[in-house]
Chains A and B, each alone.
Chain A
Amino acid sequence: MKKTKSKRKSWPKPKDMMGLAPAEYDLACNILGREPSLTEHGIFSVMWSEHCSYKSSKKWLKTLPTKAKWVICGPGENAGVIDIGEGDACIFKIESHNHPSYIEPYQGAATGVGGILRDVFTMGARPIANLNALRFGAPSHPKTRRLVSGVVAGIGGYGNCVGVPTVAGETNFHASYNGNCLVNAMTVGIARKNKIFYSAAAGAGNPVVYVGAKTGRDGIHGATMASAEFDDNSEEKRPTVQVGDPFVEKLLIEACLELMATDAIVAIQDMGAAGLTSSSVEMAGKGGLGIDLDLDNVPARETGMSSYEMMLSESQERMLIILKPKRIEVAQRIFAKYELDCATIGHLTKTGRLVVRKNGNVDADMPIAPMVQASPEYSRPWKPAKKRKPVDARKLPVREPGAALEKLMGCPDLASRRWIWEQYDHLVRGHTLQRPGGDAAVVGIPGRKKALAMCVDSTPRYVEADPETGGAQAVVETWRNLTAVGATPMAITDNMNFGNPERPAIMGQFVGAIKGMRKACKALNYPVVSGNVSLYNETNGQAILPTPTIGGVGLLKDATKSVDLALKADGDAIVLIGATAGWLGASLFLREVEGREEGAPPPISLGTEKRNGDFVRGLIAKGQVNACHDISDGGMLVALAEMALAGRMGARLELPRTDSAYLFGEDQARYIVTTANAKRLLAGAKTLRIPATVIGTVSRDGKLALAGCAPISLDKLRQAHEGWLPGYMSSKK
């Protein structure tokens, strides 16, 4: 932002500043040429909040690759859009609802789902799947159980009712999230390529129409709250959390999609963070127009609301539409069918100003372009993270593989999430081709041979250890997970969850992660098409692990050509693709079995990732493999155990080494596949110089047999793996 010299001697008291810095308040006065009214002050505050303005992150977000020939719309709209062939488009985005979920887990998480659904259907898409990435504090922390229970129930309560299947996700536990859980929700939708709706208003005089639920006093200043740190009194912020109504959302989806099938809409945007303020300012701003709002016509849930309250309310399930003037009746008829409000609350003007009227008074009259353009952009100082040394695996004690594996399979970060996904309707719509529990979900598209694969991933412990490597790894892991089901990775959406950016070390994590993501996206031709930033995730100065959550979407041209991770046929050869040095730094094994959180994370070679992944995807497309699983948390033996449990089949393994580093190292760019024809597979790998080794065969025994070690019972592994989460949730302490 431009520095302005202030002649002012005093500002409103800090508590009355609504989160604006003194310099920002001054700038607001300069733009208006006077002191702002209460309503105007509130509007500046939310528009320039971190949440809406991306003031700390903008500079770096701009460096991410956002283009590819299949990208129809990159970041800047409500969601990203990619071309998936046959005239179809896929629209998707991820968004955080961290602070509200910590304060009020059920409603916070529920409205997170509602908000991201609206971002996607506002562009004309029928939502076909939801995903989520959750991070909670240590299981031993007194709040964790209640948060897990409330967040999962909230996501289910909303998603199940709107009838969009929740098909995939990830959940981690770490003490750094004790005072600040993360709830990142993603929605994937499909639309016709030539029927995508954007938010830029056009046509002075066109009516501004409000549809959906009524406005109440909930969520006022939610965006400002989301841009501040927490302390012990954060519970007092509960009134800033919104309350969701999935039933109204379901009706709103159907009504909007029905209206979108007509030619009535000029532009449309959901009222998300900062409600009526951000939707009206953004729509008019993008169209270079002004907007006159008459708040007396806003459908209200309660009487006596002021313009300040109405402009800042974050009541849910509302949309703002610019209609063609002669089509108002079409909209009224459709919204009446669904018994939803539909009210003309203003019109577009040529003035370039936002004018807010209520009870005959003008409560705000402010120029839109200067407010949007002057939206601050900070170049925050940042400090690169200190490099960590690799862990010398030779100095670790020798461990019995079976015992270590059982411990890992039942540890909080690897234990089965069945308890969670069974609370989500993951089957509604009838097109869930691969259910939760695999590398990526696969969702079919009605009337088409193709399907979409989707997943969310991040490995925060890597990002903390080395932000750049960790940022790249998060992108790469989604790419690998999509590859492992046979899909061609297309694009990502990113949810950057970090601590306070005003601290150079935190800003350093953010900058490093972006650099790593940028490299990975470029090397894999896997652009960012949408995203969201959530900063100030700290409580009493304790920041979360840096968590860039990546949501990936891939395309399967022929849904029948997909594979899953389950071992299938007795006698199939088990082949390890990719090289294993035995990298234990920042690994789960080191943390869970050795009790050490240290060391450099596994290095990423993007060239190798691409080569190995393309090879595996080719094998799947040619029908040469029966099962495929990428190797990530917990390393090779964990991946194999997951494949065995999913298929209820055992394996006889002949491994070149059985040391912990080999079995549990988290070297990247690796997959396990099974095949009936190992010779053909190995020959193909050799031609392309891709490391591929037969490490055993699939068996009907209920165990994993390692030459030279005690056999590992699958029943015991299953008990550890399936038992932890339900056991934890039903225990009292």
Chain B
Amino acid sequence: MKSAIVVFPGSNRENDAADAIERASGKRPAMVWHKDSELPEGLDLIVLPGGFSYGDYLRCGAMAARSPIMREVIARADKGTAVVGVCNGFQILCETGLLPGVLLSNSGLKFICRDVHLKVANSQTMFTHRYSAGQVVRFPVAHHDGNYFADPDTLKRLEDGDQIAFRYCTPDGETTTEGNPNGSIGNIAGVFNATKSVLGLMPHPENATDPATVGSLGGSLDGKPMFDAIVDALSK
């Protein structure tokens, strides 16, 4: 599997993502600086990492979405190359239109960093086939603007097309307000594009892949199956 991570000014979880991919695939992804106008040839996976691209000024992800490298990312995505956007990467994907919806400020108006529970809504994709449908997993979140919103028509399209990847839930798997950390509509934590080749999600699976970080005060390995699934699907 050949992968690349796009680094914007202000990205800060690019190494976390690289570590997770390396743990799953044994290969370090290429790091591509946003000013490079070309991506490496023959890429199987493009990752847009977490962080504060362009300082989150103007609107989270808005400026990154208009940077030269993103034209290239969109072109590759249109050709079917897999793309994952995590946190700020998800915001960028929504800003480019590769994914529907927008991310508003958290309903509590505060930055939130903690483990959250997620229910796998669609386990039939290249990203999620190592999970079972309805499985409850735990990833950390770390964001200020993760409140997913889409209009009713879009929501219906997402539901009908099985485009919802994860929903926030309680430890018992209830997708209630109690299990929703940021006010996202329908408890949506992550969505796919129509062809399921692009995934965006607010929680950080890459920070749930290292056994050394798991302890009584938090941490999990539930993100590992996602990276294993991607490697599985793209190494064939």
Contacts and interface: CB of A to CB of B under 8 A. Distances in A.
Contact of B111 (A156, A247, A438, A564): A156
Given A160-B52, A427-B207, A435 B215 contact: yes
B113 A424 contact: yes
Contacts of A428: 12-13, 16, 50, 142
B113 A422 contact: yes
B15, B50, B206 interface centre (most CB from chain A within 10 Å): B15
A421 B113 CA distance: 8
Interface of B: 9-10, 12-13, 15-16, 19-20, 33, 35, 50-52, 54-57, 110-114, 140, 142, 144, 204, 206-207, 210, 212-213, 215-219
Interface in A255-300: none
A559 B215 CA distance: 12
Given A163-B13, A247-B55, A247-B56, 9 more contacts: A160-B111, A161-B52, A250-B52, A423-B113, A425-B111, A429-B15, A431-B212, A435-B219, A646-B216
A161 B85 CA distance: 18
A433 B207 CA distance: 11
A423 B110 contact: yes
A430 B217 contact: no
Nearest to A421: B113
Contacts of A431: 212-213
6 contacts: A163-B13, A247-B10, A424-B111, A424-B113, A429-B15, A430-B19
B19 to A, nearest CB: 6
Interface residues of A, number: 45
A427 B142 CA distance: 8
Interface in A162-183: 162-163
A108 B55 CA distance: 19
A305 B84 CA distance: 47
A337 interface: yes
A430 B16 contact: yes
Contacts of A251: 9-10
A51 interface: no
A99 interface: no
A8 B194 CA distance: 84
A160 B113 CA distance: 10
Contact of B15 (A153, A157, A430, A435): A430
Contacts of A723: none
A339 interface: yes
B12 A433 contact: no
A157, A162, A432, A564 interface centre (most CB from chain B within 10 Å): A432
Query: Top 3 closest A-B pairs, CB basis?
Result: A163-B12, A247-B55, A566-B216
A60 interface: no
Interface in A431-477: 431-438, 444, 446
A412 B217 CA distance: 22
Contact of B217 (A156, A429, A437, A568): A437
A571 interface: no
Contacts of B51: 163
A423 B217 contact: no
A444 B13 CA distance: 16
Interface in A379-430: 421-430
Interface of A: 153, 156-157, 160-163, 245-248, 250-251, 337-339, 421-438, 444, 446, 559-560, 564-566, 568, 627, 646-647
A568 B216 CA distance: 8
Given A424-B113, A430-B207, A338 B213 contact: no
Contacts of A437: 217
Contacts of B210: 430
Nearest to A250: B10
B52 to A, nearest CB: 4
A675 B191 CA distance: 46
B194 to A, nearest CB: 32
Contacts of B219: 435
Given A423-B113, A427-B204, A566-B216, A338 B9 contact: yes
A446 B12 CA distance: 15
A539 to B, nearest CB: 29
B142 A425 contact: yes
Nearest to A449: B212
A438 B212 CA distance: 16
Given A247-B52, A338-B9, A427 B113 contact: yes
B35 A337 contact: yes
Given A433-B212, A437-B217, A444-B212, A422 B16 contact: no
Contacts of A565: 216
Contacts of A163: 12-13, 51-52
B9 A247 contact: yes
Contacts of B13: 163, 428-430
A321 B113 CA distance: 36
Contact of B215 (A250, A430, A564): A564
B55 A246 contact: yes
A337 to B, nearest CB: 7
B79 to A, nearest CB: 29
B55 A161 contact: yes
A103 to B, nearest CB: 23
B47 to A, nearest CB: 14
Contacts of A423: 110-113
Contacts of A568: 216
Contact of B142 (A157, A160, A162, A444): A160
B217 A566 contact: yes
A446 B144 CA distance: 27
Contacts of B35: 337
B36 to A, nearest CB: 11
Contacts of A435: 215, 217-219
A247 B15 contact: no
A733 B70 CA distance: 49
Contacts of B113: 160, 421-427
Contact of A564 (B20, B55, B112, B217): B217
A438 B213 contact: no
Contacts of B57: 247
Nearest to B113: A425
B213 A430 contact: yes
Contact of A161 (B10, B20, B112, B217): B10
A435 B114 CA distance: 10
B56 A161 contact: yes
B52 A438 contact: no
Given A160-B142, A247-B57, A423-B110, A434 B9 contact: no
Contacts of A156: 111
Contacts of B114: 422
A423 B142 CA distance: 8
